[in-house]
Amino acid sequence: MNPILQCKNLTKTFADGKRKVPVLKGIDLIVEENSLIAIVGVSGSGKSTLLHLLGGLDKPTSGDVFWVGKNIKKLSEHKKCQLRNRYLGFIYQFHHLLPEFNAIENVAMPLLIGGMDIREAKNRAIEFLDHVGLQNRALHKPSELSGGERQRVAIARALVTHPQCVLADEPTGNLDQKTAEQVFQLMLDLQKQFKISFIMVTHNLVLSQKMQVCYALEEGRILVG
């Protein structure tokens, strides 16, 4: 069986004018089914860069990313978008919800992009808002929700397609301690329920230790924490 997500000898160097900034210097990572991985590292260590590469949102300088055994370098842009939509979910530090759409519409968006009929997509979105405890906020727009509620909508949006793996970039970094813990616990509960793998970037060492595996990103390399 192929792992859900894998990268081999991944490097990324940003060219900043004449200066070259090597950020990732050879990352190997395997994400199996139903796993919970934390990645910790100081600001600027390359955590977001790594998630972008794993999600196929940016290209590595060298090395390869595989989604369920497929080398994404070899896929057309169209195919990559299709597989990203099918296999992966994303949760960002600042929710990235679309301001002009309500919670249902935001959660339904990846399903609509994947070609699902609008009525079914909305029904599924409502079901997932229920999973994150927001059934009574379904018609609210992001500006009418609290920070924790917005993150819960973002979680529902990431999970609604039943992805194989969710890439979460400091999903609780912008929340107060108590809300962060609640949102984090919700992610753990949903992970267990749906058996989705999670890679979560965090600054919060207490939360990272609740994950199965904790990797540290240091000097462009992965260390097992």
Ligand X SMILES: Nc1ncnc2c1ncn2[C@@H]1O[C@H](COP(=O)(O)OP(=O)(O)OP(=O)(O)O)[C@@H](O)[C@H]1O
Give contact residues for ligand X (rule: CB under 6 A): 14, 16, 21, 23, 41, 43-49
For the bound state, the minimum distance from the C-beta of residue 5 to ligand X, rounded and expressed in Å, comes to 18
CB 158 within 8 Å of CB 194: no
C-beta closer to Mg ion: residue 125 or 168: 168
Minimal distance, residue 219 CB to Mg ion, in Å: 16
Q: Which residue has the tokens 């399903």?
A: 111
The residue among 39 and 145 lying less far from Mg ion, judged by its C-beta, is 39
Angle at CA of residue 203, ends 201 and 207, nearest 5°: 80
Q: Could you say which of Mg ion, ligand X, none residue 205 binds, taking C-beta under 5 to 8 angstroms by partner kind?
A: none
Q: Which is nearer to ligand X, 49 or 161 (CB)?
A: 49
Q: Which is nearer to ligand X, 22 or 133 (CB)?
A: 22
Q: Which of 110, 18, 116, 8 is nearest to 54 (CA)?
A: 8
Closest-approach residue to Mg ion (CB): 48
Please, what is the minimum distance in Å from the beta carbon of residue 217 to ligand X? 7
Partner interacting with residue 122 (select from ligand X, Mg ion, none; CB below 5-8 Å by kind)? none
**Phi and psi torsions of 222, nearest 5°:** -95, 130
- Using left for φ > 0, alpha for ψ between -120 and 50, and beta otherwise, residue 97 falls in beta
Say if CB 124 and CB 111 are below 8 A apart: yes
Q: How far is the CB of 35 from ligand X (least distance, A)?
A: 21
DSSP 106-122: HHHHHHHHTT--HHHHH
For residue 158, give every residue at least 6 positions away whose Cβ sits within 8 Å of its Cβ, in sequence order, or none: 89, 90, 91, 166, 168
What's the min distance (Å) between Cβ of 46 and ligand X? Answer: 4
> In the complex with Mg ion, which residue's Cβ is closer, 49 or 191?
49
Positions that interact with Mg ion (CB under 5 A): 48
Q: Which does 45 bind (CB under 5 to 8 A by kind): ligand X, Mg ion, none?
A: ligand X
State the helix-helix crossing angle for 118-131 and 147-159, rounded to 10 degrees.
130
**In terms of C-beta density within 10 A (0-12 exposed, 13-18 middle, 19 or more buried), how is residue 94 classed?**
middle
16 binds, among ligand X, Mg ion, none (CB under 5 to 8 A by kind): ligand X
Nearer to Mg ion, 48 or 161 (CB): 48
Residue 142 Cβ, how far from ligand X at the closest point, in Å? 21
When CB distances are held under 5 to 8 angstroms depending on the partner's kind, the choice from Mg ion, ligand X, none that residue 26 binds is none
